[in-house]
A and B are shown apart, each in its own frame.
Chain A
Amino acid sequence: MAAVAAEDSELDVDALRREAETLRSRLEEERRKSNDVQLRDVASKLEQVPSLQMKVRRVLKGHQGKVLAMDWSTDKRRLVSSSQDGKVIVWDAFANKQERVLSMPTTWIMSCAFAPTGDIIACGGLDNKCTVFPIDKDMENPERKKRTIAMHTSYMSCCRFVKSDYQILTCSGDCTCALWDVDSSQLMQSFHGHISDVLCLDISPVHCRTFLSGSSDKTASLWDIRTGRCVHSFDGHDGDINGVKFFPTGESFVTASDDGTCRLYDLRADREVALYTKDCMIFAATCVDISKSGRLMFAGYNDYTVNVWDVLKCVRVGRIYAHDNKVTCLQRSPDGTAVCSGSWDTTLKLWA
Protein backbone atom coordinates (compact mmCIF):
# COMPACT_ATOMS: atom_id res chain seq x y z
CA MET A 1 0.00 0.00 0.00
CA ALA A 2 2.82 2.33 0.92
CA ALA A 3 4.49 1.80 -2.45
CA VAL A 4 1.27 2.71 -4.24
CA ALA A 5 0.83 5.81 -2.08
CA ALA A 6 4.39 6.87 -2.81
CA GLU A 7 3.82 6.37 -6.52
CA ASP A 8 0.60 8.41 -6.37
CA SER A 9 2.46 11.14 -4.55
CA GLU A 10 5.16 11.17 -7.23
CA LEU A 11 2.50 11.48 -9.91
CA ASP A 12 0.99 14.41 -7.99
CA VAL A 13 4.36 16.12 -7.77
CA ASP A 14 4.96 15.61 -11.50
CA ALA A 15 1.51 16.96 -12.29
CA LEU A 16 2.12 20.00 -10.10
CA ARG A 17 5.51 20.59 -11.69
CA ARG A 18 3.95 20.48 -15.15
CA GLU A 19 1.18 22.83 -14.04
CA ALA A 20 3.70 25.31 -12.64
CA GLU A 21 5.67 25.15 -15.91
CA THR A 22 2.52 25.78 -17.95
CA LEU A 23 1.51 28.69 -15.74
CA ARG A 24 4.97 30.23 -16.03
CA SER A 25 4.85 30.01 -19.83
CA ARG A 26 1.42 31.60 -19.87
CA LEU A 27 2.67 34.40 -17.61
CA GLU A 28 5.59 35.03 -19.95
CA GLU A 29 3.20 35.10 -22.91
CA GLU A 30 0.90 37.62 -21.21
CA ARG A 31 3.89 39.83 -20.41
CA ARG A 32 5.11 39.68 -24.01
CA LYS A 33 1.68 40.93 -25.16
CA SER A 34 2.02 44.18 -23.21
CA ASN A 35 5.39 44.95 -24.85
CA ASP A 36 4.08 47.09 -27.71
CA VAL A 37 6.51 50.04 -27.42
CA GLN A 38 10.02 50.59 -26.06
CA LEU A 39 10.80 53.27 -23.48
CA ARG A 40 13.95 54.47 -25.21
CA ASP A 41 12.06 54.93 -28.48
CA VAL A 42 9.28 56.96 -26.90
CA ALA A 43 11.85 58.98 -24.93
CA SER A 44 14.08 59.65 -27.95
CA LYS A 45 12.26 62.90 -28.67
CA LEU A 46 12.94 64.26 -25.17
CA GLU A 47 15.73 66.77 -24.59
CA GLN A 48 18.96 65.53 -23.12
CA VAL A 49 19.46 66.15 -19.43
CA PRO A 50 21.75 69.08 -18.51
CA SER A 51 25.31 67.98 -17.79
CA LEU A 52 25.85 66.85 -14.21
CA GLN A 53 27.26 69.38 -11.78
CA MET A 54 27.77 67.10 -8.82
CA LYS A 55 30.87 67.32 -6.64
CA VAL A 56 31.93 65.63 -3.43
CA ARG A 57 30.73 67.85 -0.58
CA ARG A 58 31.53 65.80 2.50
CA VAL A 59 33.79 62.86 3.25
CA LEU A 60 32.69 61.06 6.41
CA LYS A 61 35.66 59.32 7.96
CA GLY A 62 35.44 57.25 11.11
CA HIS A 63 34.77 53.63 10.33
CA GLN A 64 37.71 51.27 10.71
CA GLY A 65 36.28 48.68 8.36
CA LYS A 66 34.25 48.35 5.17
CA VAL A 67 31.08 50.44 5.14
CA LEU A 68 28.25 48.06 4.32
CA ALA A 69 25.06 50.08 4.69
CA MET A 70 23.62 53.50 5.35
CA ASP A 71 20.25 55.19 5.80
CA TRP A 72 19.24 58.86 5.84
CA SER A 73 17.23 60.35 8.65
CA THR A 74 13.97 62.09 7.70
CA ASP A 75 15.54 65.31 9.06
CA LYS A 76 17.69 65.39 5.88
CA ARG A 77 20.93 66.14 7.71
CA ARG A 78 21.67 63.06 9.78
CA LEU A 79 22.44 59.61 8.54
CA VAL A 80 23.42 56.28 10.04
CA SER A 81 26.06 53.92 8.68
CA SER A 82 27.21 50.46 9.65
CA SER A 83 30.39 48.58 8.99
CA GLN A 84 32.23 45.29 8.95
CA ASP A 85 34.08 46.53 12.04
CA GLY A 86 30.97 46.15 14.18
CA LYS A 87 30.35 49.86 14.58
CA VAL A 88 27.24 51.83 13.80
CA ILE A 89 27.79 55.59 13.49
CA VAL A 90 25.15 58.31 13.53
CA TRP A 91 26.48 61.32 11.62
CA ASP A 92 25.47 64.94 11.37
CA ALA A 93 26.35 65.04 7.69
CA PHE A 94 26.02 68.85 7.41
CA ALA A 95 28.59 69.44 10.12
CA ASN A 96 30.61 66.31 9.24
CA LYS A 97 30.47 65.21 12.87
CA GLN A 98 29.94 61.84 14.52
CA GLU A 99 26.97 62.19 16.84
CA ARG A 100 27.03 58.66 18.21
CA VAL A 101 29.22 55.60 17.82
CA LEU A 102 27.52 52.36 18.80
CA SER A 103 29.40 49.10 19.17
CA MET A 104 27.79 45.83 18.27
CA PRO A 105 29.07 42.55 19.71
CA THR A 106 29.44 41.09 16.22
CA THR A 107 31.14 42.23 13.03
CA TRP A 108 29.56 42.58 9.56
CA ILE A 109 26.61 44.82 10.32
CA MET A 110 25.00 44.42 6.91
CA SER A 111 22.14 46.82 7.38
CA CYS A 112 21.11 49.82 9.43
CA ALA A 113 18.01 51.98 9.44
CA PHE A 114 16.83 55.27 10.90
CA ALA A 115 13.33 55.32 12.40
CA PRO A 116 11.04 58.04 11.00
CA THR A 117 11.15 60.06 14.24
CA GLY A 118 14.95 59.86 14.37
CA ASP A 119 14.78 58.48 17.91
CA ILE A 120 15.68 54.87 17.14
CA ILE A 121 18.12 53.10 14.91
CA ALA A 122 17.97 49.46 13.87
CA CYS A 123 20.84 47.29 12.67
CA GLY A 124 21.99 43.74 12.21
CA GLY A 125 23.73 41.33 9.88
CA LEU A 126 25.77 38.20 10.44
CA ASP A 127 24.29 37.88 13.92
CA ASN A 128 20.99 36.89 12.20
CA LYS A 129 19.20 39.52 14.28
CA CYS A 130 17.75 42.98 14.06
CA THR A 131 18.60 45.08 17.13
CA VAL A 132 17.16 48.49 17.99
CA PHE A 133 18.86 51.27 19.96
CA PRO A 134 17.12 54.38 21.31
CA ILE A 135 19.17 57.45 20.36
CA ASP A 136 16.99 60.37 21.35
CA LYS A 137 18.88 63.41 22.64
CA ASP A 138 18.58 62.51 26.32
CA MET A 139 19.72 58.92 25.89
CA GLU A 140 23.03 58.65 27.70
CA ASN A 141 23.97 55.06 27.00
CA PRO A 142 22.05 53.61 24.04
CA GLU A 143 23.97 50.32 24.18
CA ARG A 144 22.44 49.53 27.59
CA LYS A 145 18.91 49.98 26.22
CA LYS A 146 19.33 47.94 23.05
CA ARG A 147 16.76 45.24 22.26
CA THR A 148 16.68 42.38 19.80
CA ILE A 149 13.42 42.50 17.92
CA ALA A 150 13.90 40.05 15.08
CA MET A 151 15.56 36.69 14.56
CA HIS A 152 16.23 34.92 11.32
CA THR A 153 17.90 31.58 10.76
CA SER A 154 20.58 33.16 8.58
CA TYR A 155 22.14 36.61 8.13
CA MET A 156 19.92 39.66 8.04
CA SER A 157 20.68 41.54 4.84
CA CYS A 158 18.36 44.52 5.15
CA CYS A 159 16.02 46.18 7.65
CA ARG A 160 13.66 49.11 7.18
CA PHE A 161 11.05 50.83 9.35
CA VAL A 162 7.57 50.71 7.82
CA LYS A 163 6.12 54.23 7.99
CA SER A 164 6.40 54.48 11.79
CA ASP A 165 8.81 53.61 14.60
CA TYR A 166 6.64 50.60 15.48
CA GLN A 167 7.13 48.16 12.63
CA ILE A 168 10.25 46.85 10.93
CA LEU A 169 10.62 44.78 7.78
CA THR A 170 13.65 42.54 7.52
CA CYS A 171 15.00 40.23 4.85
CA SER A 172 17.49 37.46 5.21
CA GLY A 173 19.81 34.84 3.86
CA ASP A 174 17.20 32.33 5.09
CA CYS A 175 15.19 33.20 1.93
CA THR A 176 12.40 34.98 3.79
CA CYS A 177 11.29 38.48 4.63
CA ALA A 178 9.49 39.25 7.86
CA LEU A 179 7.46 42.02 9.48
CA TRP A 180 8.06 42.67 13.19
CA ASP A 181 6.36 44.72 15.87
CA VAL A 182 9.11 46.77 17.52
CA ASP A 183 7.52 47.06 20.97
CA SER A 184 6.65 43.38 21.46
CA SER A 185 9.28 41.84 19.14
CA GLN A 186 6.47 39.72 17.73
CA LEU A 187 6.59 38.31 14.23
CA MET A 188 3.54 39.76 12.48
CA GLN A 189 3.89 38.37 8.97
CA SER A 190 6.39 36.30 7.07
CA PHE A 191 6.95 36.30 3.33
CA HIS A 192 7.88 33.08 1.60
CA GLY A 193 8.60 32.50 -2.05
CA HIS A 194 12.24 33.27 -2.79
CA ILE A 195 14.34 30.16 -3.26
CA SER A 196 17.63 31.77 -2.27
CA ASP A 197 19.00 34.58 -0.05
CA VAL A 198 16.97 37.76 -0.01
CA LEU A 199 19.46 40.63 -0.29
CA CYS A 200 17.52 43.87 -0.32
CA LEU A 201 14.12 45.41 0.19
CA ASP A 202 12.31 48.69 -0.41
CA ILE A 203 8.95 49.83 0.89
CA SER A 204 6.45 51.57 -1.37
CA PRO A 205 6.82 55.37 -1.08
CA VAL A 206 3.15 55.79 -1.85
CA HIS A 207 1.21 53.80 0.69
CA CYS A 208 3.43 51.32 2.62
CA ARG A 209 1.05 48.45 1.84
CA THR A 210 3.53 46.76 -0.45
CA PHE A 211 7.25 46.23 -0.58
CA LEU A 212 9.87 44.92 -3.01
CA SER A 213 12.53 42.33 -2.38
CA GLY A 214 15.57 41.35 -4.46
CA SER A 215 17.22 37.97 -4.16
CA SER A 216 20.16 35.87 -5.20
CA ASP A 217 17.60 33.68 -6.98
CA LYS A 218 17.79 36.51 -9.58
CA THR A 219 14.20 37.57 -9.09
CA ALA A 220 12.59 40.68 -7.65
CA SER A 221 9.21 40.32 -5.96
CA LEU A 222 6.43 42.64 -4.88
CA TRP A 223 4.65 41.63 -1.66
CA ASP A 224 1.40 42.58 0.02
CA ILE A 225 2.47 43.45 3.59
CA ARG A 226 -0.85 42.57 5.14
CA THR A 227 -1.52 39.18 3.52
CA GLY A 228 2.06 38.02 2.94
CA ARG A 229 1.20 37.23 -0.65
CA CYS A 230 3.67 37.62 -3.50
CA VAL A 231 1.78 39.83 -5.96
CA HIS A 232 4.38 40.04 -8.74
CA SER A 233 7.62 38.25 -9.39
CA PHE A 234 10.10 39.33 -12.05
CA ASP A 235 13.03 37.53 -13.54
CA GLY A 236 15.40 38.79 -16.24
CA HIS A 237 18.58 39.39 -14.32
CA ASP A 238 21.45 36.95 -14.74
CA GLY A 239 22.84 37.44 -11.27
CA ASP A 240 21.98 38.25 -7.66
CA ILE A 241 19.82 41.32 -7.23
CA ASN A 242 21.72 43.49 -4.72
CA GLY A 243 19.61 46.60 -4.74
CA VAL A 244 15.96 47.37 -5.38
CA LYS A 245 14.23 50.75 -5.32
CA PHE A 246 10.72 51.95 -6.02
CA PHE A 247 10.25 54.69 -8.57
CA PRO A 248 8.58 57.77 -7.00
CA THR A 249 5.23 56.75 -8.60
CA GLY A 250 5.23 53.48 -6.71
CA GLU A 251 4.27 51.83 -10.00
CA SER A 252 7.76 51.00 -11.26
CA PHE A 253 11.04 50.05 -9.72
CA VAL A 254 14.75 49.73 -10.50
CA THR A 255 17.17 46.97 -9.63
CA ALA A 256 20.97 46.61 -9.42
CA SER A 257 22.53 43.23 -10.00
CA ASP A 258 25.68 41.12 -9.92
CA ASP A 259 25.23 40.79 -13.70
CA GLY A 260 26.47 44.39 -14.01
CA THR A 261 23.14 45.79 -15.16
CA CYS A 262 20.35 47.85 -13.70
CA ARG A 263 16.81 47.36 -14.92
CA LEU A 264 13.51 49.21 -14.76
CA TYR A 265 10.34 47.16 -14.23
CA ASP A 266 6.78 48.40 -14.57
CA LEU A 267 4.18 46.95 -12.19
CA ARG A 268 1.16 47.96 -14.27
CA ALA A 269 2.55 46.47 -17.49
CA ASP A 270 3.95 43.64 -15.36
CA ARG A 271 7.29 43.46 -17.19
CA GLU A 272 10.83 44.69 -17.58
CA VAL A 273 10.81 48.05 -19.33
CA ALA A 274 14.46 49.07 -19.69
CA LEU A 275 18.00 47.78 -19.30
CA TYR A 276 20.88 50.04 -18.22
CA THR A 277 24.28 48.75 -19.23
CA LYS A 278 27.25 49.17 -21.54
CA ASP A 279 29.37 46.46 -23.16
CA CYS A 280 32.37 47.28 -21.04
CA MET A 281 30.44 47.02 -17.78
CA ILE A 282 31.27 43.70 -16.17
CA PHE A 283 31.39 44.71 -12.51
CA ALA A 284 28.46 44.03 -10.22
CA ALA A 285 26.02 46.84 -9.52
CA THR A 286 25.49 46.80 -5.75
CA CYS A 287 23.10 49.62 -4.93
CA VAL A 288 20.71 51.98 -6.66
CA ASP A 289 18.57 55.05 -6.08
CA ILE A 290 16.61 57.59 -8.12
CA SER A 291 16.57 61.39 -8.15
CA LYS A 292 13.40 63.11 -6.92
CA SER A 293 11.82 63.53 -10.36
CA GLY A 294 12.79 60.04 -11.42
CA ARG A 295 14.85 61.23 -14.37
CA LEU A 296 18.23 60.19 -13.00
CA MET A 297 19.29 56.86 -11.56
CA PHE A 298 22.43 56.52 -9.44
CA ALA A 299 24.04 53.10 -9.13
CA GLY A 300 27.13 52.01 -7.22
CA TYR A 301 29.43 49.34 -8.59
CA ASN A 302 32.23 46.99 -7.59
CA ASP A 303 34.60 48.91 -9.88
CA TYR A 304 34.56 51.72 -7.29
CA THR A 305 32.40 54.03 -9.39
CA VAL A 306 28.91 55.48 -9.25
CA ASN A 307 27.26 55.67 -12.65
CA VAL A 308 24.47 58.09 -13.36
CA TRP A 309 21.81 57.03 -15.89
CA ASP A 310 19.10 58.88 -17.75
CA VAL A 311 16.19 56.63 -16.75
CA LEU A 312 14.06 57.59 -19.77
CA LYS A 313 16.62 57.68 -22.57
CA CYS A 314 18.39 54.64 -21.10
CA VAL A 315 21.89 56.09 -21.51
CA ARG A 316 24.65 56.83 -19.05
CA VAL A 317 25.02 60.55 -18.38
CA GLY A 318 27.71 60.56 -15.74
CA ARG A 319 30.47 58.55 -14.16
CA ILE A 320 31.77 59.41 -10.70
CA TYR A 321 35.08 57.92 -9.60
CA ALA A 322 33.62 57.86 -6.16
CA HIS A 323 35.75 55.66 -3.93
CA ASP A 324 38.98 53.69 -3.54
CA ASN A 325 37.17 50.39 -3.22
CA LYS A 326 33.80 48.76 -3.95
CA VAL A 327 30.74 50.97 -3.51
CA THR A 328 28.36 49.04 -1.27
CA CYS A 329 25.51 51.40 -0.51
CA LEU A 330 24.00 54.54 -1.91
CA GLN A 331 20.96 56.65 -1.00
CA ARG A 332 19.55 59.95 -2.10
CA SER A 333 18.80 62.40 0.72
CA PRO A 334 15.07 62.82 1.56
CA ASP A 335 14.97 66.35 0.08
CA GLY A 336 16.73 65.26 -3.12
CA THR A 337 19.70 67.59 -2.68
CA ALA A 338 22.44 64.99 -2.24
CA VAL A 339 23.43 61.37 -2.75
CA CYS A 340 25.42 59.55 -0.09
CA SER A 341 27.63 56.62 -1.07
CA GLY A 342 29.44 54.17 1.21
CA SER A 343 32.35 51.93 0.36
CA TRP A 344 34.77 49.21 1.34
CA ASP A 345 37.31 52.06 1.49
CA THR A 346 35.76 52.79 4.96
CA THR A 347 34.38 56.20 4.01
CA LEU A 348 31.03 57.67 3.11
CA LYS A 349 30.85 60.54 0.65
CA LEU A 350 28.18 63.08 -0.09
CA TRP A 351 27.63 64.29 -3.64
CA ALA A 352 25.62 67.38 -4.52
Chain B
Amino acid sequence: MAEPEEVPEMTEEERLTFEVKTLKYQLGQKRIMMSESIPDLIKFVEERMKTDYMLHPPPKSKNPWAEKSKCVLL
Protein backbone atom coordinates (compact mmCIF):
# COMPACT_ATOMS: atom_id res chain seq x y z
CA MET B 1 0.00 0.00 0.00
CA ALA B 2 1.47 3.29 -1.05
CA GLU B 3 1.87 5.90 1.60
CA PRO B 4 1.13 9.47 0.63
CA GLU B 5 4.20 11.34 -0.46
CA GLU B 6 5.52 13.22 2.52
CA VAL B 7 4.64 16.78 1.64
CA PRO B 8 8.04 18.48 1.60
CA GLU B 9 8.03 21.29 4.07
CA MET B 10 7.74 24.37 1.89
CA THR B 11 9.87 27.35 2.75
CA GLU B 12 7.97 30.58 3.23
CA GLU B 13 9.27 31.71 -0.16
CA GLU B 14 8.05 28.55 -1.89
CA ARG B 15 4.65 28.76 -0.18
CA LEU B 16 4.21 32.40 -1.22
CA THR B 17 5.34 31.68 -4.78
CA PHE B 18 2.69 28.95 -4.97
CA GLU B 19 0.07 31.30 -3.48
CA VAL B 20 0.90 34.10 -5.94
CA LYS B 21 0.65 31.66 -8.84
CA THR B 22 -2.75 30.42 -7.62
CA LEU B 23 -4.07 33.96 -7.08
CA LYS B 24 -2.95 35.04 -10.59
CA TYR B 25 -4.77 32.04 -12.04
CA GLN B 26 -7.94 32.81 -10.04
CA LEU B 27 -7.79 36.48 -11.02
CA GLY B 28 -7.66 35.45 -14.67
CA GLN B 29 -10.91 33.46 -14.41
CA LYS B 30 -13.85 34.82 -16.36
CA ARG B 31 -16.61 36.34 -14.23
CA ILE B 32 -20.22 37.14 -15.09
CA MET B 33 -22.55 39.62 -13.44
CA MET B 34 -25.08 38.50 -10.83
CA SER B 35 -27.81 40.02 -13.03
CA GLU B 36 -26.97 37.26 -15.54
CA SER B 37 -26.31 34.44 -13.11
CA ILE B 38 -29.27 34.87 -10.75
CA PRO B 39 -32.06 34.68 -13.33
CA ASP B 40 -30.48 31.44 -14.63
CA LEU B 41 -30.46 30.03 -11.11
CA ILE B 42 -34.11 30.97 -10.55
CA LYS B 43 -35.17 29.54 -13.90
CA PHE B 44 -33.44 26.25 -13.15
CA VAL B 45 -35.18 25.94 -9.78
CA GLU B 46 -38.63 26.93 -11.04
CA GLU B 47 -38.52 24.39 -13.86
CA ARG B 48 -37.99 21.62 -11.33
CA MET B 49 -40.16 22.63 -8.41
CA LYS B 50 -43.27 20.73 -9.53
CA THR B 51 -41.44 17.40 -9.28
CA ASP B 52 -39.62 18.22 -6.04
CA TYR B 53 -41.13 15.84 -3.49
CA MET B 54 -40.14 18.03 -0.61
CA LEU B 55 -42.30 20.85 -1.92
CA HIS B 56 -45.10 18.69 -3.31
CA PRO B 57 -45.23 15.39 -1.44
CA PRO B 58 -46.18 12.44 -3.61
CA PRO B 59 -49.48 10.69 -2.91
CA LYS B 60 -49.24 8.04 -0.18
CA SER B 61 -49.32 5.27 -2.76
CA LYS B 62 -46.18 6.68 -4.38
CA ASN B 63 -44.38 7.76 -1.23
CA PRO B 64 -41.90 5.03 -0.35
CA TRP B 65 -41.69 6.29 3.23
CA ALA B 66 -45.39 6.62 4.04
CA GLU B 67 -46.87 4.14 6.49
CA LYS B 68 -48.78 1.39 4.84
CA SER B 69 -52.52 1.38 5.48
CA LYS B 70 -53.45 0.31 9.01
CA CYS B 71 -56.29 -1.84 7.73
CA VAL B 72 -55.53 -5.35 6.59
CA LEU B 73 -57.89 -7.38 4.47
CA LEU B 74 -58.55 -10.68 6.16
Interface residues in B5-43 (C-beta closer than 8 Å to A): 5-7, 12-13, 16-20, 22-27, 29, 31-42
Q: Is the CB of B22 within 8 A of A151?
A: no
Which residues of B have CB within 8 Å of A9? Answer: 13
Q: Is the CB of B44 within 8 A of A266?
A: no
Contact A295/B55 with A176-B7, A269-B31 known, Cβ cut-off 8 Å: yes
Which residues of A have CB within 8 Å of B66? Answer: 57, 352
Is A282 positioned at the interface, with any CB of B under 8 Å from its CB?
Answer: no
Q: 17 new A-B pairs (CB below 8 Å) besides A30-B31, A185-B2, A248-B48?
A: A20-B23, A31-B31, A33-B33, A36-B34, A37-B38, A152-B4, A153-B4, A176-B7, A186-B2, A251-B37, A266-B37, A266-B38, A269-B37, A294-B45, A295-B48, A312-B45, A337-B53
- As a 0/1 sequence over residues 62 to 90 of chain A, the CB contacts with chain B under 8 angstroms (1 = contact) are 00000000000000110000000000000
Contact A249/B44 with A37-B35, A190-B7, A268-B37 known, Cβ cut-off 8 Å: yes
Shortest distance in angstroms between B15's beta carbon and chain A's nearest beta carbon?
9
Interface SS of chain B: helix
A-B contact pairs, 29 of them (CB 8 A): A9-B13, A13-B13, A16-B13, A17-B16, A30-B27, A36-B35, A37-B35, A37-B38, A53-B57, A57-B65, A57-B67, A76-B64, A192-B7, A230-B26, A231-B26, A233-B22, A251-B40, A252-B41, A268-B37, A273-B37, A291-B53, A294-B45, A294-B48, A296-B55, A336-B52, A336-B53, A337-B63, A352-B63, A352-B66
Residue of A23, A178, A249 near B41 (CB, 8 A) is: A249
Please, how many residues of chain B have a CB less than 8 angstroms from a CB on the other chain? 52
Which residues of B have CB within 8 Å of A338? Answer: 64-65
Give the top 4 A-B pairs by smallest Cβ distance, nearest first. A293-B48, A16-B16, A293-B52, A23-B23
Which residues of B have CB within 8 Å of A19? Answer: 20
Which residues of A have CB within 8 Å of B20? Answer: 16, 19-20, 23
Which residues of B have CB within 8 Å of A152? Answer: 4
Which residues of A have CB within 8 Å of B53? Answer: 291-292, 335-337, 352
Please, how many residues of chain A have a CB less than 8 angstroms from a CB on the other chain? 82
- As a 0/1 sequence over residues 280 to 318 of chain A, the CB contacts with chain B under 8 angstroms (1 = contact) are 000000000001111110000000000000011000000
Shortest distance in angstroms between A133's beta carbon and chain B's nearest beta carbon?
15
Q: Is the CB of A293 within 8 A of B64?
A: no
Q: Is the CB of B58 within 8 A of A13?
A: no
Which residues of A have CB within 8 Å of B49? Answer: 293, 295
- As a 0/1 sequence over residues 28 to 57 of chain A, the CB contacts with chain B under 8 angstroms (1 = contact) are 001101111111001100100110111001
Cα of A153 to Cα of B8 in the assembled complex, Å? 13
Contact A231/B45 with A185-B2, A292-B52 known, Cβ cut-off 8 Å: no
Cα of A34 to Cα of B1 in the assembled complex, Å? 47
Cα of A100 to Cα of B55 in the assembled complex, Å? 33
Most buried by A among B4, B7, B23: B4
Shortest distance in angstroms between A37's beta carbon and chain B's nearest beta carbon?
5
Most buried by A among B13, B33, B41, B64: B41
Cα of A332 to Cα of B52 in the assembled complex, Å? 12
Which residues of A have CB within 8 Å of B4? Answer: 150-153, 178, 187, 190
Which residues of A have CB within 8 Å of B7? Answer: 153, 174, 176, 190, 192
Q: Is the CB of A34 within 8 A of B64?
A: no
